[in-house]
Structure 1
Amino acid sequence: MAKRKVHRRARKVLGEEPLALVWCGLRKDIPRPPKDVHRAAGKGRLKPGRHWLFYAGLVLAAVIIIPWFLVDKLDELLTSKRARQELLGRRADGASEPQRAHGDRHRLPEPSDDVFDGDWTLTAGRLLLRWYGQSPNLRRLLLLTDDRICLAASPGRRLSPTKADDFDIVTEFAHGEVRIHREPGQRHFFLRFSDGSWLNQGRLADNEDAERFLKAISG
């Protein structure tokens, strides 16, 4: 659960007590926008900033994983003939399924499947274009009040959701400009803006705060 200093900071930046708050983040990476759109928006960062230990970890993982990967691929080559035979057998058994599988591959993405609605000119798209320009950290603190929905961010790359006390509001909307929609039974939600765009939010940071927040938006 978020510590007192998180709530104290929230009261300070809002000027009032929040009804609910939760640290959340994008459920997937920001898709790459068209070059002209990205250039017009100032060519801002589209990925979170990483601590140097992250890159050191990647190098260490590569030293361990690449040899294992090569051995695994060699094993696949040695057993490929048997695998192809088994695959052909499964396809023969499932000959009645192709039409349904084809339909699944061409299913249009639902709001819960993607980061946003796909239109970079609308509110959600414009917000994504400056997402990491406001903070290199992927998390945002979502704050609810009686008449506002606010997103706050910490300026640092590293963040402790239960202890952060250096965040500021980077974006806010009146309740008439955005509403929060949660699909029944899901631990994520998306913001629906008045222009029809939407932004998917997940990666809820703290179980207790998350449950309280999800209960508040479902009531």
Structure 2
Amino acid sequence: MASSTDRMLQSRLGIKLDAGAWCVIGKIPKPPSDVHAGAGDGSLRPAFIRPLRVLTLVLTSPFVLILGLLLLLASGEEVLKKWLATGEERERLRAEELDAKRRDASIVELGLNQTFDGNWSGAAGQFLLRWYGHSSHHQRFVALSEGRILLAAPPKRVSFRAESRMKVVAEIPADKAVLEDLLPQYENNKLRLHFKDGSWIVLTTEEMRSAIHKHLLRHPVNHETESTEP
């Protein structure tokens, strides 16, 4: 079933979505000054939260405290559940913890804890230099549409109603890059935007095993690049 964001994008932009998910990237490392200048000296970080948003966060701080208390209680409940668990349940919990450790180790091994491959001259590095030039918003709604990869966002950072203000800020043809889930065996929130020259950018989805992850499980990509080393 299509999400509200999917339906809104399809209606506003007139595109058919195969799958989509909100994503963020890691901190962009400082590039060489000449490389940065050659790319237009664009911003390497999202815009700051507007003062009105900061005021809203302050005014709602009691609710944040209540939420924190609820999370603390939930954490205590999890500890109690483990303590009261049967032998079979404890074995399942140990297996889940071991699975999570293996997933986290694989993330590091594959370089998915990095923002990109580190080559500023590559397609990924050049694309990354213009990331916040396309939009100063901190998130991107990444969508697969008829073979293309679309990145949508509000033109500027907003605190509310991001979905209703979105527009496509970048489009990558199918023959230029693909989205990959390198850890399909695990529930994870990492995707790799892998360009044809072998360079890549890591995207972190808002939710674990997003709609894009599920789509890639059903439709694995077959993409040859010059290099697949992280």
How many angstroms does 1:156 deviate by?
2.8
How many angstroms does 1:142 deviate by?
0.7
How many angstroms does 1:7 deviate by?
2.7
Which runs of structure 2 are paired with 1:65-214 in the superposition (5 Å)?
A: 110-160=110-160, 164-184=163-183, 185=186, 186-202=188-204, 204-206=205-207, 211-214=210-213
Cα contact 1:20–1:144 (8 A) shared by 2: yes
Using the alignment, how far apart are the partners of 1:14 and 1:141 within structure 2? 13
Q: Which amino acid aligns with 1:165?
A: S
SS in structure 2 at match of 1:29: coil
Alpha carbon RMSD of aligned pairs, Å? 2.8
Using the alignment, how far apart are the partners of 1:151 and 1:113 within structure 2? 21
Q: 1:119 to 1:37 in 2, by over 3 A?
A: same
Corresponding residue number in structure 2 for 1:7: 6
Using the alignment, how far apart are the partners of 1:50 and 1:2 within structure 2? 32
Using the alignment, how far apart are the partners of 1:45 and 1:217 within structure 2? 32
Q: 1:215 to 1:37 in 2, by over 3 A?
A: same
Cα contact 2:36–2:42 (8 A) shared by 1: yes
Structure having the higher Rg: 1
Question: Once structures 1 and 2 are overlaid, which stretch shifts more, 35-44 or 175-184?
Answer: 175-184
Corresponding residue number in structure 1 for 2:81: none
Using the alignment, how far apart are the partners of 1:40 and 1:167 within structure 2? 28
How many angstroms does 1:206 deviate by?
4.7
Cα contact 1:9–1:166 (8 A) shared by 2: no
Matched, 1:44 2:42: yes
Q: 1:173 to 1:38 in 2, by over 3 A?
A: same
Structure with bigger RCO (C-alpha 8 Å, 6+ apart): 1
Q: Give per-residue Cα distances to partners, 1:12-69, cap 9 Å, x unaligned.
A: 465332011111010x200000011111111111111112448788xxxxxxxxxxxx
Using the alignment, how far apart are the partners of 2:54 and 2:42 within structure 1? 21
Using the alignment, how far apart are the partners of 1:143 and 1:113 within structure 2? 22
How many angstroms does 1:125 deviate by?
0.7
Corresponding residue number in structure 2 for 1:25: 24
Instruction: State the percentage of identical aligned residues.
Output: 31
Q: Which amino acid aligns with 1:119?
A: N
TM-score, normalised to structure 2, is 0.62
How many angstroms does 1:146 deviate by?
2.4
Question: Once structures 1 and 2 are overlaid, which stretch shifts more, 32-41 or 47-56?
Answer: 47-56
How many angstroms does 1:122 deviate by?
1.6
Cα contact 2:19–2:145 (8 A) shared by 1: yes
Q: Give per-residue Cα distances to partners, 1:180-211, cap 9 Å, x unaligned.
A: 21122122111111011101000x2356xx53
Q: Give per-residue Cα distances to partners, 1:87-144, cap 9 Å, x unaligned.
A: xxxxxxxxxxxxxxxxxxxxx9743121111111221111111111111111111111
Using the alignment, how far apart are the partners of 1:215 and 1:159 within structure 2? 28
